[in-house]
Amino acid sequence: MAKTKTKFCCQECGYESPKWLGKCPGCQSWNTFVEEVETVSKTQGVHSSILRTKEKPVSIINIKSSEEQRIVTRNKELNRVLGGGLVPGSLLLVGGDPGIGKSTLLLQTSHDLTESDKKVLYVSGEESVRQTKLRADRLNASSELLYVLCETNLEQIEAAIDEVQPDFLVIDSIQTVYHPGVTSAPGSVSQVRECTGHFMRIAKIKGIATVLVGHVTKEGAIAGPRLLEHMVDCVLYFEGERHHSYRLLRAVKNRFGATNEIGIFEMQESGLVEVSNPSELFLSERPLGVSGSTVVASMEGTRPVLVELQALVSSTNFPSPRRMATGIDHNRLALIIAVLEKRMGMFLANQDAYVNVAGGVKLDEPAVDLAIAVSIASSLREQPTQPFDVVFGEVGLTGEVRGVSRVDQRVKEAEKLGFRRVILPEKSLKGWTSPSGIEVIGVNTVAEALKATLG
């Protein structure tokens, strides 16, 4: 006989408790506990419908190592983020804000795969078949090999997979799918965990490249337990400002490629269009001869990207000046301002400081520190930087400029776009040969960098 067990689960992190709690001890969130009923069998455990295989332990010496055959899509930006293409039997998780373009990207990718004679099953739990058809007509993504199913029952989805035998499977979204053997509501921790585990077993056993679309919380993280990101092979975040037409697909976890790799797309009427040269795009509207504007060479995964960093420093009558940052870490901005005050003698205690990365890009590497310092000093002194200079380097608390990685790729990208000088750390000049068409200036301190850029 099976018995029922009542428990309370946090919908943010998956913490379980035998009683209701107002505040979660795991993630410190308030009012996130929901009662869930679990059916437990004495002989078969929680759920008896588990896919079983006859695999036996094999010595690692006897396993033949071979390059994994990837499914290459026609979208080069997506292939870059995935590490070369889709891996058969892999499980991917795609998250992003509502309306950012997740379903559009996956429907376009499904159509591209059908052009290579691949069967695709697109399961939508949020839209009807007709709604999906309307989007497909707008994107010109119609093919006989593209099958669409509107279903949320896991058993019915599994039956459709057995019938179609697809090469590529899309579940949009995992929060809408429910397992009939789990009594909790769809989207709960138990349902998401069980359904994801089931799709993972289907992908591994049948060799189907599977993509799960995940909802995000108001903080931007994927909703559900953290276990969800641990179970999948690849986690992709689709980012972008709602008021900008550019979208960034960022890999934060990838078992088959590099992490922190990005792909850049532009949203148009016909769908998402890949951007092959993002540096030229981000610098297209850059003003010349204006104080506070600096070009920085940042690495996004294995790709160098040149973006414009803008700073505005203005006096304030309030006792505590404002420090606002868009696209960079707010704490990093406060640190750079403290270094300029202490080491460079700049008085910023009565000045508001605003720093913005043009184009809606987010920069999170320390190599942008020197460009932030140069932009703030340029705006404070009302002295514009040289229009064809590129600046990058990490700034320490004593005012020194520390070395960064992948210097040669950054310099080559600057030369390709027509820049004439690069100001970089002195310690990063070793181990590579600079191109002949661009001047490279090494600096050891922030003072030397300001002297080279502002005179």
Counting Cβ atoms within 10 Å, is residue 188 exposed (0-12), middle (13-18) or buried (19+)? Answer: buried
Pairing of strands 351-357, 389-391: unpaired
Q: Is 413 helix (H, G, I), strand (E, B) or coil?
A: helix
Q: Are 123 and 157 in contact (CB under 8 A)?
A: yes
Backbone φ, ψ for residue 276 (5° rounding) = -85, -30
Q: Are 272 and 139 in contact (CB under 8 A)?
A: no
CA angle 209, 145, 276 (to 5 degrees): 65
Lookup: tokens for 167? 């090469």
Residue 396, annotated ligand binder? no
Residue 96, annotated ligand binder? yes
Residue 57, annotated ligand binder? no
Residue 100, annotated ligand binder? yes
How far is the C-alpha of 334 from the C-alpha of 349, rounded, in Å? 11
Q: Are 290 and 319 in contact (CB under 8 A)?
A: no
The residue whose two tokens read 């309306």 is 99
Counting Cβ atoms within 10 Å, is residue 6 exposed (0-12), middle (13-18) or buried (19+)? Answer: exposed
Backbone φ, ψ for residue 122 (5° rounding) = -105, 110
Provide the residue type at 273 as one letter: V
How far is the C-alpha of 170 from the C-alpha of 212, rounded, in Å? 6
Residue 50, annotated ligand binder? no
> Among the residues of 35-176, which ranges form H helices?
76-82, 102-114, 129-139, 154-164
Query: How many Cβ atoms from other residues are within 10 Å of residue 345's Cβ?
Result: 8
Residue 218, annotated ligand binder? no
Residue 226, sorted as left (phi over 0), alpha (psi -120 to 50) or beta, turns out to be: alpha
Q: Are 292 and 330 in contact (CB under 8 A)?
A: no
How far is the C-alpha of 309 from the C-alpha of 90, rounded, in Å? 38
How far is the C-alpha of 224 from the C-alpha of 229, rounded, in Å? 9
Nearest CA-CA partner of 147 in 170, 125, 178, 126: 170
Buried b (16+ CB within 10 A) or exposed e, 232-258: bbbbbbbbbbeeeebbbbbbebbebbe
Residue 187, annotated ligand binder? no
Bridge partners of 402, per DSSP, are 394
Residue 98, annotated ligand binder? yes
Binding site listing: 96-103
- Extract the annotated binding site for ATP: 96-103
